Structure 1
Amino acid sequence: MSTPESIPATNFIRQIISKDLAENKHREVITRFPPEPNGFLHIGHAKSICLNFGVAAENNGLCNLRFDDTNPEKESIEYVRAIEKDVHWLGFEWAELRHSSDYFEALYNYAVELIEKGLAYVDSLNADQIREYRGTLTKPGKESPDRNRSIEENLDLFARMRAGEFADGQYLLRAKIDMASSNINMRDPALYRIRRVHHQRTGDEWCIYPMYDYTHCISDAIEGITHSLCTLEFADHRPLYDWVLDNITIDCHPRQIEFARLELKYTIVSKRKLNQLVVDGHVSGWDDPRMPTIAGLRRAGFTPSAIRDFCERIGVTKKDSSIEMGVLENCIREDLNNTSARVMAVLDPLKVVIENYPDDLVEHLEASNHPQIEAMGKRIVPFAKEVYIDQDDFADVPPPKYKRLIAGGEVRLRGAYVIKCHEVIKNAEGKVVELRCTYDANTLGKNPEGRKVKGVIHWVSAAHALNAEVRLYDRLFKVPNPGAEDNFCDALNPDSLQVIAAAKVEASLAGAELGSRFQFERVGYFCLDTEDSLAGKLVFNRTVTLRDTWV
């Protein structure tokens, strides 16, 4: 199994595994990542991926990718392919690719074994009745009238369920455990239900499907999983996990260990709610760069190493906590600061005419791709009589301590000359539309002795600039915990996307590869969109600002 660098930080799960190995409970470590193919993976799944593949790799073990495909109503091959792509993109390779549906026949046979042992029965109660009979946290449940069917009758009914003789919901198979248990999950939980739904792998072969709690533990055991790592909400399900394996004829009994799931502020990681955002059109799709999905983060310009770094930094604990969005954003800032080339882009162009610059002269200036990393090389930036600067880099009425261009003032164009503004041209509405300036030919890349010019701004040559659409993405929600709102959609940030249709970027970006990342100097980190940058159209997505603007 190939994997990126291991995650060295210790935690309680690594301590448990080390102890198990030291005591010779296992000869090797085998884990699994078991997503449901009912949506795209999100940042919370990334934590689980890094943990499962990481602990296996650290101990020279194996990690399987297993799709829990027992609920075909909500599953699709599109989600399967997206999940495979995400795991690969994060830098991991599974030992084996499995599906719970691979084990449907075995799961059925184990259910028959439970019936034969008097530990499962076919029930005719409907959903409302089951809820009524289950009881509450303070009140024990009561037994179903069908609980004491004979083994022979249960075997017959279960076989007929499989044969398709009954309507959806007419019967279900339940475990016979304890209706008075303090753990509601042990009050005769459902094992199988009748559901006539076409399955994306098995077609119409089955009309009964096993429940997750029953399927998961047996699938783990069949695959020889040594440590079944789950999030905390499965802690109350662990007694059922163990009960099923203790009562069927199977050699392996994995150890389930629970850890705190990832809760990230200013976002949600509920698949149901993420799907609602897509269906209701609040985002453009599962890979919208505002989404916390791995596909969305990838399209926004996040790197696999930044996400792995984030998962390492937040650690693995037994206590739920909410992580600041700034932690994730700082991980990608640090990564891109060291790996992204610098280029110049003007998002809100203001034309500057340099009146004393020769009309037909074009200089090809050399610019560094990274000020601290010489190995990233240099590029050529054309300079001519007319350039664009950003509207924000000129102020007709400057605020205090303003260090950019003003009427009668000087400023340096980054890597080029010092210019001085002599005339401000406005349109009929009073908006500044053009500046007339002069340049000092003796200031190319330097300040002459005795002359101080503090302001430095970016620019692009008007004649050579490329047109680009720039999408300024921001946090999707305006409150730290949108899931706590009565309607989480009311917490959507109305400024989460600003589209700039007529930005100007430097000519060197003409050959940029889809998905490549850049720092637009003084603006932020951007990625060339992989979906919409087609047929010569440049579309850049903002990955993150240069500094945290939410502090």
Structure 2
Amino acid sequence: MSETKNLDEVVSTNFIDDFVKEDMAPGGRTEGMRVHTRFPPEPNGYLHIGHAKAIYVDFGTADRFGGVCNLRMDDTNPTKEDVEYVEAIKEDIHWLGYDWGDRFYYASDYFEDMYKGAEELIEKGLAYVCELTQEEMREMRGDLTTPARSPYRDRPKEESLDLFRRMRAGEFEDGKMTLRARIDLASGNFNMRDPVIYRINHKAHHRTGDKWCIYPMYDYAHPFEDAMECITHSLCSLEFEDHRPFYDWVVENVTLPSKPRQIEFARLGINNTVMSKRKLRALVEGNYVDGWDDPRMPTLCGLRRRGYTPRAIRNFSERNGVSKVNSTVEYAFLEHCLREDLNQHARRVMGVLHPVKLVLTNYPEGKTEMLTVENNPNCPEDGTREVSFSRTLWIEAEDFLTEPVPKYKRLYPGGPECRLKGAYLVKCVGYETDNEGNVTEIHGEFDPDSRGGDPADGRKVKGATLHWVDAETALTAQVRLYDNLFSVESPEEGDFLDYLSETSLEVLEGCKLEQGLRDAKPGESFQFMRQGYFCVDSKDAKPGAPVFNRSVKLKDSFKPGK
């Protein structure tokens, strides 16, 4: 836990920081208090990249001011909540590098307090039991020129209190009654037109079991929980701005230990994906993807399985900034942040995804030598590694043509010398085909005086530099090439399932990789030279049956300032 910082030490990074400074300054609303925020996810699904921004805002704001941030599960709706989601949320937040210490709470921790607060509102004449159905409530909601109506609004508080207690006791079926706040049926803000604060729901809760059959609405529970935990600043996404008057109303009219301040910021939107939990659940339950952690999903567990790093996601969240205006960010920028990180930290290796055999006819049969190559030139401390080299190699099928096209600088009969990365210069002298004309083997000759294959040797070669793998020691693996799950930039518009891309996953069998990858650990990332960044799949990879996922292509399509 960091110490509370002097306000002069805190450099504001966004408008939220300015508000916090204003509150903490002498004479301010929270003068002398420690900044205290919270992250309150609902445990009805897995966290996605949009939540990463909220986590960055909640935990980051507290950290900049030397404050603390709680983790609280908003488990006020038992319909789709599950312990599985609770544990997954905790794992994802820890993976991102944030910690809540001993400040882990549930909204259900306060169910009894919320109930007493509701009784207090009834006794003050500020809440009443209403028997309108949802449909009737909608019909009586009114419009901008017509007030809402409720025939139960003037029900005596003694009667409402009795009915509310009987609601708790389980005497009424679902939908029979609600408890509504008594505020202003003519308010221009429809959230203040006597909103429902309790509803009947005879469904067991994952923590409290059958103890409760009435549950608080989120708009009532939210300020209550913040106040009970003495939160100083409740940071919410922008859709809660119109709900803030009710938030403040609850804080002012219920006896609570503190008076938190709600501040709203724009949530994160990204193209080429969906981030509605309802839609993500539909993808999972409809078997359109391989679970919540499918590497094409925008969930944090899916991004982690694909090879995204905490540093890349935190950089993405920070560099997007915090504003009051909703906007959509290019998915390419998220990829750009990952590429930046992996370019600095991922070890370079060679992997051949579409292998074809190259036989060096003038290399001694039975001979194998070890060549020293650099792991990552951007990370000198990563050192070097040794790779084996022998007469028979695997190269990419696209690095050979029987008849070259214009400007083709790779192998073909009679073509120029090419460099085998870190090894020798080689030229093509022939090839073999099967009965259908498919190339089965390329014949080449190497230059024994060009060991190292380094352009710095001064020899000018017209051909390209090719990656390769020694056929004697190659690791055979499955490689999965992932791309956008949706074929359009805005799948939210219309039926998103109609936009599922048929090319979002390509599975390659029989790929040939360097032998050193036999010991690669699940989640470990590498740059396959000329191919992209890949990681070991954390779910399906098994000893003797490696699986690698492409995290991101090498080519960066993101253009800053676009």
Pair 1:412 & 2:416 matched: no
Work out whether residues 39 and 71 of structure 2, in 8 Å CA contact, stay in contact via their aligned partners in 1: yes
Q: What are the Cα deviations for residues 396-455 of structure 1, in whole angstroms up to 9, with x where unaligned? A: 232322222122222111001111111122222222221011111111114666552441
- C-alpha distance 356-465 of structure 1, shift in aligned 2 (>3 A): same
Secondary structure of the structure 2 residue equivalent to 1:482: coil
Which letter maps to 1:16?
F
1:33 counterpart = 2:39: yes
Find out whether 1:475 has 2:523 as its counterpart. no
> Counterpart of 1:529?
537
Q: Is the 8 A contact 1:9 1:312 kept in 2?
A: no
Does structure 1 conserve the Cα–Cα contact (< 8 Å) formed by 2:336 and 2:558?
Answer: no
How high is the sequence identity, in percent, across the aligned residues?
A: 53
Q: Distance in 2 between matches of 1:400 and 1:180?
A: 75
Which of 239, 247, 259 aligns to 1:241? It is 247
How far does the alpha carbon of each residue in 1:341-386 deviate from its partner, in whole angstroms, 9 at most, with x for none?
0000000000111111111101111111112332101111011111
Deviations 1:51-105 (A, max 9, x none): 1101101111110000000111110000000000011000000140000000000
CA drift of 1:549 comes to 5.2
- 2:461 aligns to what SS in structure 1? coil
Query: How many Å apart are 1:490 and its aligned residue?
Result: 1.3
Report the counterpart of residue 93 of structure 1 in structure 2.
99
1:117 equivalenced with 2:120 (yes/no): no
In structure 2, the partner of 1:108 is: 115
The structure 2 residue matched to 1:425, chosen from 426, 432, 436, is 432
1:234 CA drift (Å): 0.4
Q: What secondary structure, in the 3-state scheme, does the structure 2 residue paired with 1:53 have?
A: helix
CA contact (8 A) 2:202 2:213 kept: yes
Cα deviations across residues 462-495 of structure 1 (Å, max 9, x unaligned)? 11101111000011112111101x2111122211
Q: Describe the shift of the 1:223–1:533 C-alpha distance in structure 2 as closer, same or farther (beyond 3 A).
A: same
* CA RMSD in angstroms, aligned pairs only: 1.7
Q: Does residue 434 in structure 1 map to residue 441 in structure 2?
A: yes
| Correspondence for 1:16 among 14, 19, 44 | 19
Partner of residue 468, structure 2 = 459
CA contact (8 A) 2:92 2:301 kept: yes
Aligned to 1:131: 138
Per the alignment, residue 195 of structure 2 pairs with 189
- Residue 121 of structure 1, CA deviation: 0.7
1:511 aligned to which of 519, 522, 526: 519
1:200 corresponds in structure 2 to 206
Hey, what's the Cα distance between the residues in 2 that align with 1:298 and 1:141? 50
CA–CA separation in structure 1 for the residues paired with 2:2 and 2:350: 38
Secondary structure class of the residue paired with 1:357: coil
In structure 1, the residue corresponding to 2:140 is in which secondary structure? helix
The yes-or-no answer on 1:390 pairing with 2:396 is yes
- In structure 2, what is the Cα distance between the partners aligned to 1:543 and 1:135? 52
Report SS of the residue matched to 1:540. Answer: strand
In structure 2, what is the Cα distance between the partners aligned to 1:451 and 1:331?
36
The equivalences for 1:212-231 within 5 A come to 212-231=218-237
CA distance in 1, matches of 2:512, 2:471: 8
Number of residue pairs matched by the alignment = 547
Inter-CA distance 319–549: structure 2 relative to 1 (3 Å threshold): closer
Mapped contact 1:140–1:179 kept (Cα < 8 A):
no
Report deviation, 1:135.
1.9
* 2:501 pairs with one of 483, 488, 493: 493
CA distance in 2, matches of 1:139, 1:430: 79
Instruction: Please give the residue correspondences for 1:256-295 in structure 2 after superposition, counting only pairs within 5 Å.
Output: 256-295=262-301
- Residues 78 and 204, structure 2, Cα contact 8 Å, conserved in 1: yes
Contact between 2:332 and 2:557, CA under 8 Å: does it hold in 1?
Answer: no
Change in CA separation of 1:64 and 1:473 when aligned onto 2, cut-off 3 Å: same
1:213 shift after superposition: 0.2
Q: Which residue of 2 aligns with 1:365?
A: 371
Q: How far apart are the structure 1 equivalents of 2:472 and 2:142?
A: 76
User: Structure 1 pair 257/449, CA: closer, same or farther in 2 (3 Å)?
Assistant: closer
SS at match of 2:333: helix
1-structure distance, mates of 2:365, 2:186: 91
Q: Counterparts of 2:197 and 2:181 in 1: how far apart (Å)? A: 7
Between the aligned partners of 2:29 and 2:213, the Cα distance in structure 1 is 39
Structure 1, gaps ≥5 residues long: none
| Residue pair 2:73, 2:105 contacting (<8 A) in 1 also | yes
Q: Residues 82-139 of structure 1, C-alpha deviation per residue, up to 9 Å, x if partnerless?
A: 0000110000001400000000000000000000011111111111101111123x34
CA distance in 1, matches of 2:340, 2:12: 20
Which residue identity does 1:283 align to in structure 2?
V
What's the counterpart of residue 550 of structure 2?
A: 542
CA distance in 1: counterparts of 2:120 and 2:40, whole angstroms: 25
Query: Which segment drifts farther, 353-362 or 444-453?
Result: 444-453
Q: Distance in 2 between matches of 1:130 and 1:205?
A: 28
Whole-angstrom distance in 2 between the partners of 1:387 and 1:433: 13
Cα displacement string for residues 132-165 of structure 1 (whole angstroms, at most 9, x for unaligned residues): 11123x3434321111111111111100110111
